[in-house]
């Protein structure tokens, strides 16, 4: 295994554990299905979707799917009987958030360099990530559920992801500031 692949595997494991941990925290504190029984209005793991893409690029897709699948197995994400709806939504989330971030990067003409990104760049990338997830996950839920979700579900996915990403960014920043004192 080359050093680059080994690095991506180790970083993927870190991001996967972080995603599962934040998912469990969100589940315990406010519920991951607090809006309409489908989505959360504050989804902390959305932070990992954005940061992982900035660090490991398209390796984020299998990382997010496997991490999301672990959350399904833990019973933290349970929308309908069986697991087919949850798996469909997880696949859509993995592709949607990654592609949304990639499109936003192209539109902003920025590179995946955490040190070179301005706060405005980060805001636009988080919006792209949230929008891509909201569009594809809503489509997956629409196709998989017997009672299709309404437009408010897509809006809740978008806002929950955006708010969760930024709350986590601010908490990480505050933690780093406190650690540097």
The CATH number of the domain where 172 resides is what?
A: 1.10.1760
pLDDT given for residue 159 in this prediction:
92
- How far is 107 from 126, CA to CA, in rounded Å? 13
b/e code 111-141 from CB counts within 10 Å (16+ = b): eeeeeebeeebbbbbbbbbbbbbbbbbbebb
- Torsion sign across C-alpha atoms 158, 129, 65, 139: positive
As a whole number, mean pLDDT of residues 118-127 equals 92
pLDDT band, residue 34 (cuts 50/70/90): low
What is the domain extent for residue 80?
A: 3-179
Degrees, nearest 5: CA angle 28-132-4: 85
- pLDDT exceeds cutoff 90 at 52: yes
How much is the average pLDDT of 144-171? 85
User: Which residues, including other chains, have CB under 8 Å from residue 90's CB and lie 6 or more apart?
Assistant: 64, 65, 68, 69, 72, 77
Instruction: Quote the CA–CA distance of 100 and 89 in Å, as a whole number.
Output: 15
| Residue 68 clears pLDDT 90, i.e. is over it | yes
What integer pLDDT is reported at residue 152 of this predicted model?
81
Residues 107 and 102: their CA atoms lie apart, in Å, by: 9
pLDDT of residue 61: 96
Nearest to 45 by CA among 124, 157, 128: 157
Q: Determine the pLDDT at residue 173.
A: 85
Question: According to the model, what pLDDT value does residue 21 have?
Answer: 96
Is the predicted pLDDT of residue 35 greater than 70, yes or no?
no
- Are 51 and 168 in contact by the 8 Å Cβ rule? The answer is no
Q: Minimal CA–CA distance to 135: which of 147, 153, 119?
A: 153
Give the pLDDT confidence score for residue 154 in this predicted structure.
86
pTM across the whole model: 0.89
Question: Total domain count for the chain?
Answer: 1
């Amino acid at each position: 295994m080359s050093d680059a692949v080994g690095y991506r595997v180790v970083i993927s494991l870190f991001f996967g554990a972080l995603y599962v941990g934040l998912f469990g925290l969100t589940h315990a504190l406010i519920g991951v299905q607090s809006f309409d029984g489908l989505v959360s209005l504050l989804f902390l793991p959305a932070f990992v979707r954005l940061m992982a893409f900035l660090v490991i690029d398209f390796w984020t897709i299998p990382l997010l799917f496997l991490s999301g699948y672990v959350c399904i197995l833990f019973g933290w994400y349970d929308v309908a009987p069986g697991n087919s709806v949850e798996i469909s939504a997880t696949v859509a989330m993995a592709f949607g958030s990654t592609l949304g971030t990639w499109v936003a990067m192209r539109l902003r003409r920025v590179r995946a360099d955490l040190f070179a990104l301005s706060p405005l760049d980060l805001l636009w990338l988080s919006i792209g990530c949230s929008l891509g997830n909201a569009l594809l996950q809503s489509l997956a839920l629409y196709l998989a559920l017997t009672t299709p979700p309404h437009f408010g579900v897509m809006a809740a996915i978008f806002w929950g992801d955006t708010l969760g990403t930024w709350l986590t960014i601010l908490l990480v920043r505050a933690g780093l500031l406190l650690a540097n004192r």
